[in-house]
Amino acid sequence: MELLAEVSDFIIVKTDNPEETEKVGMVLGAHLGPGDIVSLIGELGSGKTCFTRGIACGLGIEKTVPIVSPTFTLINEYPGKTPLFHFDLYRIDDGEKIFDLGYREYFHGKGVAVIEWGEKVTNLLPDEYFLVLFSSPFDEIREIKIKGQGKRFIDIIKSLRNYLKN
């Protein structure tokens, strides 16, 4: 894992394997709390679900709980001290269909909402959230850009930066 860039509101991390991608998610997850939203954007196979597994671990969800992409169910709920609401909007053509899921309860509820294919609902996101962009220039290597939207999330970026430097 290597910190490639750091600016006040974002960092870019390079990971060499799925375990490192999961670790970055875990570090982020340890900083999240009820009502937080993480929007994930990247191509198929770019590491979004692996990163979400890390977030779950960072939230204290048991590692034995299988965190899988809810491509066909649209949302998986994982119980924990802070629950994880894992959305996968790959099969949603129209972002408005998320209204049928009762998204407000998830986005502003007692858990953390992680949204794969988050670009489909950007207009529904609050002013403060994390935007995580994935690219995979070579096989298992990932470049992960984590951007904080809003003061609280920018402060978390500073904390992540300090952790990743060590």
pLDDT tens series, the chain, 166 aa: 777 766 778 899 999 999 999 999 999 999 999 999 999 999 988 999 999 999 999 999 988 888 888 767 788 899 988 999 998 888 777 656 666 666 677 777 799 999 998 898 888 888 899 999 999 877 778 999 999 988 888 888 888 888 777 6
Instruction: Report CA 106 to chain centroid distance, whole Å.
Output: 14
- CATH classification number, 2-165, choose in 3.40.50.300, 3.40.228.10, 3.40.50.150, 1.10.3720.10: 3.40.50.300
Rounded CA separation 12/2 (Å): 9
Rounded CA separation 77/70 (Å): 10
* pLDDT at residue number 99: 64
- Domain positions in the chain are 2-165
* pLDDT at residue number 102: 66
DSSP string across 78-129: E-SSS-EEEEE-TT-SSGGGGGGGTHHHHHTSSSEEEEETGGGGGGGS-SSE
What single-letter amino acid sits at 152?
R
| Whole-prediction pTM | 0.89
